[in-house]
Amino acid sequence: MFTIIKQSAQFLRLGNVLRTTVTSRPAFFCTESSNPPGLNIAAITNGDKDLEHKLKILVLEIDVLRQEGKLVPDDDYLKESHWKELLILPSLSQRRKFLEYLFKISKKKENKKLKKEQKRLEKFPEAKPEKNENETFEEFVSQYDLGHNNIMLRVYDSTMNQLYNNRLVQAMQFGQKLVVDCGYCDDMTKQENKNCAKQLTLLFSENRNHDDPFDLHFCNINNESVLMQSLNKLIVTLHEPWFPLNLHETSYLETFSKEQLVYLTPHCREELVEYDHDAIYIIGGIVDKVNTQPLSLAKAKREGLRMAKLPLDRYLQWGSGSGKSLTLNQVASILLDVKLTGDWKYALRHVPRRKVVEFTHEKINQKNKWKPNRERPGFDNLKYNRRPSDRMIKVGSIMND
Amino acid sequence: MFSSKIFTRISFHKINIRTFRQQQRPNPSKERSSPNNLLWKIIEENNIKGAQDWKDVRTQIQNEIRSVTPASIDAMTVSICTRKKKFNLALSYLDFLNNENVKLNLATLGKYFKLLYVKGVEESLATEDEEKILQMYDSLRTTYPVLDSLTLDNVTQALSLTKKWKVCLDLLDEIKVTSSPTSNTYSAVIAAAFSNKADNLAWKLLDELIENNKTIQDVVYITYFKRIITQSEKIAHIEKMFNFMQNNGVQIEPENVDTFVEAFKDLKVVIKNSNIHTRGVCKCCNKKLKTFELSDDEFNNLKTKILDNVIVGKDVFNKTTSEELERFNKFTSNMEKFDVIIDGLNVAYSAGVKQSSYVTSGLVAAVVSHFARVGKKVLVLGRKHMSKWPQKNWKYVQKNATTFLTEDLSQDDPYLLYCALNSGKDTVIVTRDLMRSHKFLLREVHLKLLFDRWLSQRQYLLLRVPENGEPIFKKPLPFSQIAQKNEEYWHIPCISDSTSASSKWLCIKL
């Protein structure tokens, strides 16, 4: 069965080659750059003639950029979504920046792959024995090795998920609520929306792994938006009914009482000094790399909500250079810690250290200072997961000699 | 009565207001190792005499510079030779490719067009080059039914030199499908229109160029002045160009000054490099330069646009609240005319934000007293938290000036601008802010120009407040940095990197 599919695939590929050789143009100029492989014009343009024309120009443009020595990824790296985005970008310089970004990512991936392969070769210089497809059950059982017969039970991801989700479901019943306002999709660029989706994923997972998680509510969502589309790409089971996350297409004002809500916005003047365990805090789901207008402040002002900002200046000495912006997951982690411990200093460890000068060199030096190991490890208090004891004896005996 | 004595407590000599300088950080390591520079270094070192020498150089380049791929080497080499104006070198490389039977890819063809254009402009176009351009264009068109904007830019520039220059107009439209034509392309087509006596078209394109925020290249000036030499009303034509520069605030790019002067050589016009004194007097002809006031229409237009685009914008709540806007409108509607409007917080924090409130409030009080003592009507804009300043100074400010305070969460700058515009043409603004972010929100090139012109004439920049409490300002220049005619002399400004008054000007006697 498989072999038949494989063969037909080969034929298909052969057919492709044949077709391209037949249709190649008379070569007065170098025309190796017809349509790149994997570019499905009909799927991208939906039969729009103007768009098709534009797309053809862009194909040429990218080729010319590459030939001029600009940083452009290979043709087969560009996927349908990339082409669609290129069509939206209005100016050449924007397209060039986007292509440069893609180029860097593609090279990064390539290098990672190469490094992995090299490492593997260092570890196992000889090629892996090929998997025997007609392996009988007896043969399978007789091999003792990971992936074959083994005393270790495999812990599946789903098992781990269940464990984590259990805590989350408990929080949904009894825990404090935290709202993320996802209503800023239109104020962000596409890239910002994607970054926001990524941060929301991290926020969800960090919340789930915490000892005392929040009951998360994503409000003002719009399922058509880039933000939700890319979030759905990152969390495939997002819309499953069992998934432990509350999604509301409506505003938080309809679900919760106004008195409890506190909008966390960096542009306001009040500091959140005393953490309120009864309040429902709202985090604005914005990544503002381009547009740094106080959007969440404006929204809170319009809706007449209480506002607060994290006491970043009270507890931290900020370095110059990078701004005071935090990612969504960092804000959530800070809130999680302050909820559990009530200690802002401890909670603010989630602020990236590069932004803070308070983390003095002294502390770092103390940490890294070399201390002679005065005591020889006693063999009586060896614990599980320590180094194997026979090696220890050897070292010991050498030293005694 | 309050006197200036009250703030003698503050030692002003300690306050040094920081001056912000634009720092251009050179990045030598990056500069040196860019692939183009490496490429040029190899070419220079090899001392290439003819097409036959290129073979080894080409392999050397491919081996030594990793970022140069077999696909990009040709276009990059031709391009760098063109940029360094070594046309024969570039041509010999193309000869070499021809001998080797290497087919030129699209980017290299584009660079070939560019080479022929630059060569044509520098040394005037030879007939065989013109034929080459036309022949190449025809075959390019048959191979590629659509072309990208990068190639089209180069093709348009080359074609503008030939007899088929009118095709360029179609090509411009073709470029606009995916991007906008570059300054060079626009300038090339405009120059072609001038030299082919299609003046109306050229002026229309010049307007389009200004609208798209592009700069005029020297080709335009050279061809224009060359064309009008033979015409009867020479001076009227020259003045037409100068008037255009005046209306659109065009200044000459620093690298184009020499070619601009060169273009006048045959016109029998006296043209001199000059400086304008801070008093507004030209050092060459001793004539005084004038300021350009905004007309009433322009002024009102700017005022409404500030309210719509800057204060309200997309969402009133971003910068203020609707109640506050109402309060402000009430305030402005029966507002009397003010002579001076002070950006309270900007002045207060001009010595740094970490000063004590005695210092910050003292600065505002000092500035207010400076104007109030000579009987000027003063308005101070700020935020509500200012009323908690040390009462001695704040009471003085309130007594000697009108104040309008916005909420602590609102922005006061847009209100400041509106107040200043509302108060009339002679009102002075005291602030150190150049209001660039607000200027950006005006969107239209024309409005931005008006805004600049207005602010540069009305802005007092607080420099420092010395011990005697008498503030020192950088006052607006007594003339506009715009091309202008002063009696029989024309003065044309040149862009210089420093913003000082002693910028370069050209003094021209027609």
Higher pLDDT, B500 or B311: B311
What pLDDT band is residue A329 in, cutting at 50, 70 and 90?
A: very high
Q: How confident is the model at residue A180 (pLDDT cuts 50, 70, 90)?
A: very high
Q: Which residues of chain B make contact with A297, given a CB cutoff of 8 A?
A: 317-318, 409
Contact indicator for A39, A83 with CB cutoff of 8 Å: yes
Cβ neighbours of B103 in A, within 8 Å: 27, 29-30
A60 contacts chain B (CB < 8 A): yes
Mean pLDDT on A78-95 = 89
Q: For all residues of chain A together, what is the average pLDDT?
A: 81
Q: Please state, in angstroms and as integers, the Cα–Cα distance from residue A342 to each residue in A269, A273, A345, A347, following that order.
A: 21, 10, 9, 8
Mutating which of A31, A54, A57 best tests the B interface, going by the most B Cβ atoms within 10 A?
Answer: A57
The arithmetic mean of pLDDT across residues A112-120, rounded, is 94
pLDDT value of residue A174: 93
User: Is A320's Cβ below 8 Å from some Cβ in B?
Assistant: no
Residue B160 and residue B190: Cα distance in Å, rounded?
Answer: 9
Residues from chain B contacting residue A54 (CB–CB below 8 Å): 177-178
B146, B149, B318 ranked by CB distance to A298: nearest: B318
In angstroms, the separation between the Cα of residue B494 and the nearest Cα of chain A is 28
Q: Domain residue spans in chain B?
A: 34-227, 228-291+491-510, 294-474
Residues of A in contact with B143 (CB under 8 A): 25, 28-29, 31
Tell me the shortest Cα–Cα distance from B280 to chain A, in angstroms. 40
Topology of domain B294-474 in CATH is Rossmann fold (3.40.50)
CA distances for B294 relative to A162, B309, B474, angstroms = 71, 20, 22
> What mean pLDDT do residues B247-275 have?
82
In a mutational test of the B interface, the residue from A60, A66, A271, A286 whose CB has the highest number of chain B CBs within 10 Å is A60
3-state secondary structure of A327: coil
- Res. B256 pLDDT band, cuts 50 70 90: confident
A to B CB pairs, distance under 8 Å: 107
pLDDT band at B237 (very low <50, low <70, confident <90, very high): confident
Question: What DSSP string describes A257-270?
Answer: -TTTEEEE-TTSS-
CB atoms within 10 A of CB B14: 10
Share of chain B above pLDDT 90, in %: 21
Question: How distant is the Cα of B106 from the closest Cα of chain A, in angstroms?
Answer: 6
Q: In angstroms, rounded to a whole number, what is the distance separating the alpha carbons of residues B462 and A397? A: 79
pLDDT at A37: 64
Q: How many residues does chain A have?
A: 401
- Yes or no, beta carbons of A298 and B35 under 8 Å apart: no
**Nearest-angstrom CA–CA distance, B443 and B440:** 6
Q: Are B379 and B338 in contact (CB under 8 A)?
A: yes
Cβ pair B462, B17 in contact under 8 A: yes
- List pLDDT tens digits, range A133-174: 788 888 888 888 877 788 888 888 889 888 899 999 999 999
* Strands (DSSP E) found in A220-260: 246-247
Residues of chain A with Cβ-Cβ distance to B140 below 8 Å are 29
Reported confidence tier of residue A313, pLDDT bands at 50, 70, 90? confident
> What is the arithmetic mean of pLDDT over A125-130?
74
A220 Cβ partners below 8 Å, 6+ apart? A181, A182, A183, A248, A249, A250, A251, A252
Determine the Cα–Cα distance for residues B42 and B81; give it in Å rounded to an integer: 12
A residues 287-316 near B, CB within 8 Å?
A: 293-295, 297-299, 301-302
Is A173's Cβ below 8 Å from some Cβ in B?
no
Q: Name the residue of chain A whose CA is nearest to B106's CA.
A: A64
B-chain residue closest to A301, CA distance: B317
Count CA within 13 A, CB hemisphere, residue A277.
10
Q: Is the pLDDT of residue A177 over 90?
A: yes
pLDDT at B5: 42
A347's CB contacts (< 8 A; 6+ apart) are: A333, A334, A335, A336, A337, A338, A341
Distance, in angstroms, between B104 CA and closest chain A CA? Answer: 6
Interface of B to A at Cβ within 8 Å reads 35-36, 67-69, 71-72, 74-76, 79, 103-111, 139-140, 143-144, 146-151, 177-180, 315, 317-318, 321, 408-409
How close does chain A come to B395, measured CA to CA in Å? 25
Least confident of B132-141, B195-204, B314-323, B326-335: B314-323
CA A87 to chain CA centroid, nearest Å: 25
Q: CB B148 to CB A64 under 8 A? A: yes
Distance of alpha carbon B383 from alpha carbon B379, whole angstroms? 13
Q: How far apart are CA A358 and CA A36, in angstroms?
A: 53
In chain A, residues with a C-beta closer than 8 Å to the C-beta of B354 are none
How big is the CA angle at B477 (ends B473 and B480), to the nearest 5 degrees?
A: 150
Cβ atoms of residues B174 and B152 within 8 Å: yes
Among B79, B317, B407, B437, the strongest candidate for a mutation testing the A interface, having the largest count of A CBs within 10 A, is: B317
Q: Where are the alpha helices (DSSP H) in B248-315?
A: 257-263, 296-305
Rounded to 5°, the CA angle A183-A187-A191 comes to 105
Residue of B nearest to A50 (CA): B177
Q: Which of B343, B335, B344 is nearest to B423 (CA)?
A: B335
Q: How far is B189 from chain A (nearest CA, A)?
A: 20
Give the percent of chain B with pLDDT over 70.
Answer: 92
Signed CA dihedral, B308, B310, B315, B316: sign only: negative
**What element of type H or E holds B473?**
strand B472-474
3-state SS track over A339-374: HHHCCHHHHHHHCCHHHECCCCHHHHHHHHCCCCCC
Of A164 and A36, the structure prediction assigns the larger pLDDT to A164
Q: Name residue, tokens 């990078």.
A: A322
Residue B480 has pLDDT above 80, yes or no: yes
Contact B107 A63 (CB under 8 A): yes
Tell me what pLDDT residue B30 has: 53
B164: which DSSP letter?
A: T
Q: Quickly state the pLDDT bin for A41 (edges 50, 70, 90).
A: confident
Our CA dihedral for B54, B58, B60, B66, rounded to 10 degrees, sits at 160
Distance CA B28, CA A111 (A): 28
Query: Which among B76, B143, B318 has the least Cβ separation from residue A68?
Result: B76
- Burial letters for B401-411: b for 16+ Cβ neighbours within 10 Å, e otherwise? bbbbbbbebbb
Cβ contact A69–B150 (<8 Å): no
H-helix segments, B334-434: 344-348, 357-372, 391-400, 413-423
Cα B15 to Cα B464: distance, rounded to the nearest angstrom: 7
Q: Which residues between 214 and 233 in chain A have a beta carbon less than 8 angstroms from any beta carbon of chain B?
A: none
Apex B91 CA angle, B87 and B93, nearest 5: 120
Q: Is B472 in a helix, a strand, or coil?
A: strand
DSSP strand pairing (B489-493 vs B484-486): antiparallel
Q: Which residues of A touch B180 (CB under 8 A)?
A: 91
| ipTM over 0.85 threshold | no
Cβ contact A44:B51 at 8 Å: no
Condensed to tens digits (0 to 9), the pLDDT of residues A336-353 reads 999 999 999 999 999 998
CA Rg value for chain B: 29
Sequence-separated (6 or more) residues with CB below 8 Å from residue B363: B15, B347, B348, B350, B351, B462, B465, B471
Contact between A60 and B103 using a beta-carbon 8 Å cutoff: no
- Are A64 and B151 in contact (CB < 8 Å)? yes
Instruction: Name the amino acid, one letter, at A26.
Output: P
Nearest-CA distance A14 → chain B (Å): 26
| A49 close contact with B: CB closer than 8 A | no
Give the pLDDT confidence score for residue B67 in this predicted structure: 83
Q: Over the stretch B65-85, which tens digit does the pLDDT of each residue have?
A: 888 888 889 999 999 999 988
Strand, coil or helix: B49: coil
Whole-prediction pTM: 0.75
Please tell me which of the candidates B67, B149, B409 has its beta carbon nearest to residue A301.
B409
The pLDDT assigned to B312 comes to: 77
* Cα B111 versus chain centre, distance: 28
Mean pLDDT of B28-44: 75
Letter string b/e over residues A134-157, b meaning 16 or more CB atoms within 10 A of that residue's CB = eeeeeeeeeeeeeeeeeeeeeeee
Mean pLDDT of chain B: 84
Cβ atoms B273, B506 nearer than 8 A: yes
Task: Name every residue whose Cβ is closer than 8 Å to that of residue B180 and which is 6 or more positions away in sequence.
Answer: A91, B212
Sign (positive or negative) of CA dihedral A228, A233, A234, A236: positive
Which stretch of A9-23, B178-192, B468-482 has the lowest confidence by average pLDDT? A9-23
* Partner residue facing B321 (CB), from A69, A269, A301: A301
Task: Kindly report, residue by residue over B95-124, the tens digit of the pLDDT.
Answer: 899 888 888 899 999 999 999 999 998 888
Asked if B105 lies within 8 A of A29 by C-beta distance, the reply is: yes
Minimum-distance CB partner of A60 among B72, B106, B111: B106
Cβ within 8 Å, pair B317-A297 = yes
* Own/partner long-range contacts of B481-487 (Cβ < 8 Å, ≥24 apart): B481/B251, B481/B456, B482/B246, B482/B249, B482/B292, B482/B453, B483/B242, B483/B245, B483/B246, B483/B250, B483/B251, B484/B246, B484/B289, B484/B290, B484/B292, B485/B239, B485/B242, B486/B282, B486/B285, B486/B287, B486/B288, B486/B289, B486/B290, B487/B287
Interchain contact, A61 vs B150, CB within 8 Å = yes
* Beta carbons within 8 Å of B60's beta carbon, 6+ residues apart: B42, B46
Answer whether A52's CB lies under 8 Å from A45's CB: yes
Instruction: For residue B315, give the nearest of A28, A268, A298 by CB distance.
Output: A298
Q: Which helix (H) or strand (E) holds B271?
A: strand B270-275
Closest residue to A60, CB basis, from B103, B146, B315 = B146
pLDDT reported for residue A372: 60
Q: How confident is the model at residue B238 (pLDDT cuts 50, 70, 90)?
A: confident
b/e map of A308-345 (b: 16 or more CB within 10 Å)?
bbbbbeebbeeeeeeeeebbbbbbbbbbbbbbeeeebe
DSSP for B181-237, please give it: --HHHHHHHHHHHHHTT-HHHHHHHHHHHHHTTPPPPHHHHHHHHHHGGGSS-HHHH
Q: How confident is the model at residue B318 (pLDDT cuts 50, 70, 90)?
A: confident
Cβ atoms of B185 and B157 closer than 8 Å: yes
Query: What is the pLDDT at residue A383?
Result: 56
Please name the residues in contact with A316: beta carbons below 8 A apart, sequence gap of 6 or more. A348, A351, A356, A358
